[in-house]
Every structure is written in C-alpha cells, then in structure tokens.
Structure 1
C-alpha cells in the first residue's frame, strides 16, 4: 500500500506539472504578442495575404475564443497528441525525439562531472582540516561559492576564448556528436552545479567524519582515508543525492543557454527557435518533456536515497504497518 500511495503521488505530480506547464506556456506566448498564423505561413513578416491568414486561422482554430483554444490545447496534451509544429510542418514528437538524445547526453555527462568535482573538493577539504590546511580549506570554500554563482554564458565564453581560441585544444562549436565537442559544454554546465553539491557534500562529510561510528573505526586502526571512503561517504552522500534531482533540472534549463552558445543541437536550441517563431505546439511540447523529465528524475532520486540509506526503507515499512491512530517513533 505504501508503494501504491507513492506511485499515485508521483502520477498526480506529473499530471499537475503537465497542466501547469501547458497553461503557463500557452498564455505566456499569447501575452507576448504576435500572431501564430504568421508562424504557420513562414514566420513574422511573411507578408501572407489576408485570405491565407483567414484560411489558416480557421484550419488551426485560431479564430475561436482564447478559452476555446486553451481547452483544445489541454485536450491534445491529455491525449499525448502534441500536434504539428507551426513553423516546421512536422510532428512535434518527431522534432523533440530527434533532439532529446543530445540534451540528455549533455545533462548526464555534466551531472557526472559535477559529482566528480564536488567529491574531490569535499574530500580534500575534510582531509585538510588540520592547522596546516586551514588556508587551503578556506580557498576551497571560496571556490565553491564562486562556482555556484557563475553564469553559464560567462563561463562558456571564457572557456571558448581560452581552450578554443587561445590554446586551440578543443572546438568552439559542438555541431556533431564527437566527444571533443562535448567537453566545453559539459564543463560549462557542471561547474556551477559542482559548487552547490560540493558545499552540501563537504558539510555532510564533516558531520559524518565526527560521528561515533567514525571514531569507533579509528580506534580499530583505520586510517583517515579509509574512514572517509568506507564509512563517512555513504552517510554524507544522502543530501547530495537528494540535491541531484534539482541539479538535473537545473542542467536541463541551463542547456538552453549552453546549446545556443556552443551551437550544439538539442532541446535548448529547439526551444529558442520555437519561441522566436511563436510556435505554440513546439514550445509546449519541449517544456512539457523537460518538466516531466524532471519529475521522473526526482522520483529516481527518491528511490536511490532509499537504496543507499536502509533507514528510509525501514521507516516506510514501519509507517505502513502501524495501526491507524498509533504514533510511530
């Protein structure tokens, strides 16, 4: 029953997210001005005849009241019919499917790199807690703060100037699927997320490293490195795992800037182009896929937390088995 309630809650969250996203995007694009009929006939400034505009409005139900158009769009989303793109005259699902792999690859590689950077910084900070390492720990903490607030467009521009323009080691654009073209975009996305993860992981390691189980391991002759890797890290990773769901959503949203900056194919560039052309079905489809992907990742993060920490599984079982009205300690 506990599992069924959890699944029902996640499903309700996905439905709510889909409704909110479709509603906000629909009315935001209409409030931004412009006529969607122009996107269908070639974009703003297409100089289409009034007869063609009227025919298109009637064909796509754009001549109906705004509320009717909104309900029609919701009905299509509810039936998983994203429709056809106004500007590209192709199914929205086909366009998104062609670009989804590139964005997911970039997000997954960036998240893995962020974890590696955060873990390295947190480990060095914890192992350098003595007097000799205080200055270094202070520098690492300052680097974490700076990294967490670093804008993607600025960091990407600096990386392009140094490693592509100056040293010539890596390409400035990432139009293909070559691994070299993924390096600079992944670093651009990973560094700010690594700043947040590093702060959370370092605090968790500090707390776990001073816990009684760590002290017991030291009395048995374990080295500081062994205590850190085999005892403290599992406890310290839980807050970072919980934060990884948010981090993945931040990476997907940051891909809009990074994919445009590095001319990389993906959902980010597709969303920018669709927004400029007032392509309502395509914008709703892209944002909806990203939002639902965030819900899926958060659910997976929740499951991973229970795998890493058996106490969470035990708490769920106790609560599910407790009689109604009984307080569970």
Structure 2
C-alpha cells in the first residue's frame, strides 16, 4: 500500500510539473513579444503575403484567443502530441529524440565527475590534521566556494583559452564524436556542481567521522582509512545523494550555455535556438523533457537513499507494522 501511494505521488508530481512547465513557457513566450507566424513562415525576412499569413494562422490555431491556444497546448501535452516544430517543420518528438542522447551523455559524465571531485575534496578536508591540516581545510573550503559560483560561460572560455588555444591539448569545439571533444564541456559543467556537493559532503563526512559508531570502530583497532571507507563515507554520501536530483537538473540547465559555447549538438542548444525563434511547440517539448528528467532523477535519488539508509527502511517497516488492528490493541 505504501508503495502504491509512493508511485501515485510521483505520478502526480510529474503531472504537476508538466502542467506548470507548459503554462509558464507558453505565457512567457507570449509575453516576450514576437509572432510565431514569422517562425512558421521562415523568419522575419520571409515577406509572406497576407493570404499566406492568414492561412498559417488558421492552420496552427493562432487566430484563436490566447486562452483557447493555451488549452489546446495543454491538451497536446496531456495526450503526448507535441506537434511539429514551427521553424523546422519536423515532429518535435523526433527533434528532441535526436538531440537528447548527446545531452544525457554530457550531463551524466559531468555528474560522475562532480561526485568524484566532491569525494576527493571532502575526504582530503576530513583527513587533514594539525596546523598544516587546518590550513589545508581552509584552502579546500575556499576552493569549494569559488568552484560553486563559477559561471559556466566564463569558466568554459578560460578552459578553451588554456587547453585548446595555448596548449593545443584538446579541441575547442565539441562537434565530433571523439572522447577528447567531451572533456572540456564535461569539466565546465562538473566543477560548479562539485563545489556545492563538496561542501555538503564535507560537513556530513566530518559529522560521521566523529560519531559514536566511528569511535567504537577505532576502539576495536580499525584504522582511520577503514573507518572512513567502511562507515563515514556511506553516511556522508546520503545528503549528497538527496541533492543529486537538483544537481542533475542544474547540469541540464547549464547544458544550454555549455553546448552553445562549445558548438556541441544537444537538447540545450536546440532549446536556445527554439527560444530565439519563437518556436513554441519545440520550446515546450524541450523544457518538458528536461523537467520530467529532473523528476525521474529525483525518484532514483530517493530510491538510492532508501537503499543506503537503514533508518528509512526501518521506518517503513514500522509504519507497515502499525496496522489498524495493532493501533486498536495499543489504544486498548
């Protein structure tokens, strides 16, 4: 029963996200000005006649009141019929399906790298000892804060200038499928997220390292490395796992800038071009996929947290045990 309620809650959250995304994007594009008819006819320089403009507006329902257009768009979203792109004259689902894998590869690689960097920073900060150790911790904290506020556009430009232009080690653009073309975009996306995850993980690791279970393990003769790997890291990872959904959403939104900067094909670049071209179906479809992807990752993060944290499983077991019969028995 609890599992069914949990699944229903997730499905309800996904439906709510879809409605909010479709509503916000629709009215934001309307409020930004411009006429979608121009995008359908090939842009502002198409010089289409009044008859062609009227025919297009009738075909796409643009001659209807805004409220009617909004309800029609909601119906398309609810029935998974995203329609055709205004500018590209292709199904939105095909366009998104062609660009989504590249963005998922980039975001997934960046999330893995962010986790590795965060673990290294947190472990180094907790393992430091003495006066030199306190200095190292202060330096690492400064690195975390600086990394978490790095703008993607500026950081990516610095990486291009250093590793592509000056040293010539890596390509400046990411148009090819070679693994080296993925390095700079991945680092650009991963470092800011790693700074934030590192701060959360460091605090959790320091707390777990000083907890009674860690002290007991040391009293039994366990080394510091064993305590760190066997006990502390698992407890410290729980807050960071809970934030992985947010981190993945941040990576997907950052991909808009990074894919444009590195000339990399992907959903972020497609969304940027659709937004500037007033391509309403393509913008709504792209943002909707990103938002639902965020919901899916949040769900996976919750499952991972439930698997790693025995307290959550114990709480679920105790709630299942407290049936109405047992409640009545306790009350009696």
Residue 122 of structure 2 is matched in structure 1 by 122
Query: Once the 2 structures are TM-superposed, how far is the Cα of residue 129 of structure 1 from its aligned partner?
Result: 3.2
Aligned to 2:91: 91
- Taking a change above 3 Å as real, the CA distance of residues 326 and 147 of structure 1, as seen in their structure-2 partners, is farther
TM-score (norm 1): 0.97
Distance 1:130 1:197 in 2: 25
* 1:51 corresponds to: 51
Distance in 2 of aligned mates of 1:304 and 1:154 = 34
2:298 corresponds in structure 1 to: 298
Q: Name the counterpart of 2:189.
A: 189
Q: How does 1:226-237 map to 2 (within 5 A)?
A: 226-237=226-237
Corresponding residue number in structure 1 for 2:61: 61
Runs of 5+ consecutive residues of structure 1 not aligned to the other structure: none
User: In 2, Cα distance between the equivalents of 1:288 and 1:43?
Assistant: 25
Secondary structure of the residue aligned to 2:222 is coil
Partner of 1:214: 214
Offset of residue 326 of structure 1: 5.4
Q: By how many angstroms is 1:176 displaced?
A: 2.1
Moved more, 7-16 or 43-52: 43-52
Alignment size in residue pairs: 328
Deviations 1:55-94 (Å, cap 9, x if unpaired)? 0001111101111111111111100001000000000000
Distance between the aligned counterparts of 2:196 and 2:94, measured in 1?
35
Does residue 260 of the first structure (1) align with residue 260 of the second (2)?
A: yes
Aligned pair 1:26/2:48, yes or no?
Answer: no
Indicate the residue corresponding to 1:154 in structure 2: 154
CA contact (8 A) 1:129 1:137 kept: no
Whole-angstrom distance in 2 between the partners of 1:146 and 1:264: 26
| Number of the residue aligned with 2:15 | 15
Shift of 1:222: 1.4
What is aligned with 1:180? 180
* Corresponding residue number in structure 1 for 2:318: 318
Check whether the contact 1:44–1:277 (CA below 8 A) recurs between aligned residues.
no
Q: Distance in 2 between matches of 1:158 and 1:326?
A: 63
With normalisation by structure 2, the TM-score equals 0.97
RMSD, aligned α-carbons: 1.4
Residue by residue over 1:234-276, the C-alpha shift from the partner in whole angstroms, topping out at 9 and shown as x without a partner, is 1111001001110000000000000000000001100010011
Displacement of 1:101 after TM fit? Answer: 0.3
Distance 1:74 1:319 in 2: 38
**Which residue does the alignment assign to 1:289?**
289
Spell out structure 1 runs of 4+ moving beyond 3 A: 323-328
Q: Deviations over 1:163-209 (max 9, x none)?
A: 00000000000012211010000000000000011011111110000
- Distance in 2 separating the partners of 1:79 and 1:316: 35
Match of 1:280 in 2: 280
Pair 1:6-2:6 in alignment? yes
Give the corresponding residue for 1:112: 112
Q: Distance in 2 between matches of 1:261 and 1:199?
A: 28
